[in-house]
Structure 1
């Protein structure tokens, strides 16, 4: 009996052992199956979140693009105070009156009127030239030279400033400069030779051989 009882107990233990193994396998399979069954839900949730974030981002970008550009700030310049208009003076009128006074020997009045003309038009070449002639009468050769050189710069084709500057340099004893300007004046107008033949202002250069060559 004891032998049979031991055999039965042994058989029962073996069944219990095999049954436990199968139960462990089944329980593990169920656990794994449960784990795998939850993973698709997580992936779907993540995908939905990503889609929502992307949609919100692109919606924000579209709203930025659709907004009209900010209008540039306009800067308004305040108009300057309008000053009272000065009467338009006629420089030529002063110049013409100055010539009349010069011919009458009223050099002071002529000088004043030439100066008025130059105040209106500083580039008035004829006024610069005639004012230089008055400076020569006053022995103010520096001012005369300055006016004549300015007249030449402004109007290089005018012969009178070249001739008068030749006279200024001759009076100052600068022979080479005088002859250079006299030669230039003659090349521009051949009638200058007649002026030079009798002009006392050129006495200091009259003996120079170049002078004879220029006026012949």
Structure 2
């Protein structure tokens, strides 16, 4: 039976209480961090971190001498595992942000990487191994309608031009913040379920007719 030397670690918080006189809270915090004296330090055993693996070597009593083995991610320190995953999620968010700004649909590669990142995030929360790549992609969804604030601004001009009940109100009197807030309100409260259901039915009928034509031509 194979033998492995396993190094495990837990982090024990050490704290101190010291008064710092400073002009601002930020300055006091900076002084506390830069203070190198720990002569009054105390250990906080009750807040110690979880036990995690920090080294593996093949063989018995082989720490730092035998051939090292990669640590399975589920046995890494949870906070470090989450921190490294944060960098992945931040990179994916930046890509999505650029695509949205350029009015592009997310690429298949982005969808695949995001599906894996979601599965890995769930594995981290559950203390499970990282998922293999690739993972099953969610079925694509399609944007049916987009509420654009600049078009809302155009609609304001059109309404004020024909509706006498708003007489005396100039289009520029309506601020961008008011347009933004109104669009958010409509986007979150307006019920488009009937329209979406109708669109899904039309898509289903179109797909059925396409299949019917394809089979008839075979």
- Larger Rg computed on CA atoms: 1
Q: Which has the higher strand share?
A: 2
TM range (shorter): under 0.3
TM-score by length of 2: 0.22
